[in-house]
Amino acid sequence: MREVAQEERSALGLSDHEPLDPYALAVEHGISVYTLADLRDNGLPLAAVDHFHHLGSSSWSAALIPLGTSRVIVENEAHARVRRRSNIAHELGHHLLEHSFEDVVLGEDHKRQFDSDQENQAKFISGELLIPDVAARRAAYDDWDNARVARAFDVSEQFAQMRMYGARVIAARAARKFGITR
């Protein structure tokens, strides 16, 4: 998965230390991204838009949807821009890893239930797309805080913290091994 993410970043002309624009990556793969407002303008009932913008905004972020042999992504624009970027990267992860749509089902509560392995894979590759491991390690060795990582890669501080955890453990071990104080 790291290799796939690296290939995708390289195809966009990015180094490991530059932020990736997931919308540009979607364009590279011929995947259109639509917001709920875009769908409202094309017949989605206003009640559905209102639900996902207000009461249900935390229950749904984005979805990769098959349309014949094509794919589109629908995103909830009620979320913060940095969260939307990670949502798009996550959905692109499903595409890049060629996950099937057969394992998506609706439960009795009408909520979608997913294959947890595929969700974990999409989460991992979205992290590699937005903050490559090599960049996270460099930032950890340079003692960057979550806010600085978030600004550098245009992600939320929560996303930065998630990506930096392992890199910080590695940096701390190296510092102890070589007697470096921070």
Could you tell me if 54 and 32 are in contact, meaning their C-beta atoms sit under 8 angstroms apart?
A: no
What tokens does 49 get? Answer: 């838009």
Average pLDDT of the chain is 89
Could you tell me if 87 and 81 are in contact, meaning their C-beta atoms sit under 8 angstroms apart?
A: no
DSSP lists the bridge partners of residue 154 as: none
- Which of 130, 147, 166 is where one domain is finished? 130
* Reported confidence tier of residue 102, pLDDT bands at 50, 70, 90: confident
pLDDT of 149 over the 50 cut: yes
Query: Do 105 and 164 belong to one domain?
Result: no
Residue predicted with more confidence, 28 or 116: 28
- Which of 130, 151, 173 is where one domain is finished? 130
CA distances, 157 to each of 86, 93, 96, 119 (Å): 12, 21, 25, 21
Q: What is the pTM of this model?
A: 0.88
Domain CATH code at residue 63: 1.10.10.2910
- Which of 110, 130, 150 is where one domain is finished? 130
Range of the domain at 176: 132-182
**Total number of domains in the chain:** 2
Query: Do 121 and 155 belong to one domain?
Result: no
Could you tell me if 107 and 113 are in contact, meaning their C-beta atoms sit under 8 angstroms apart?
A: yes
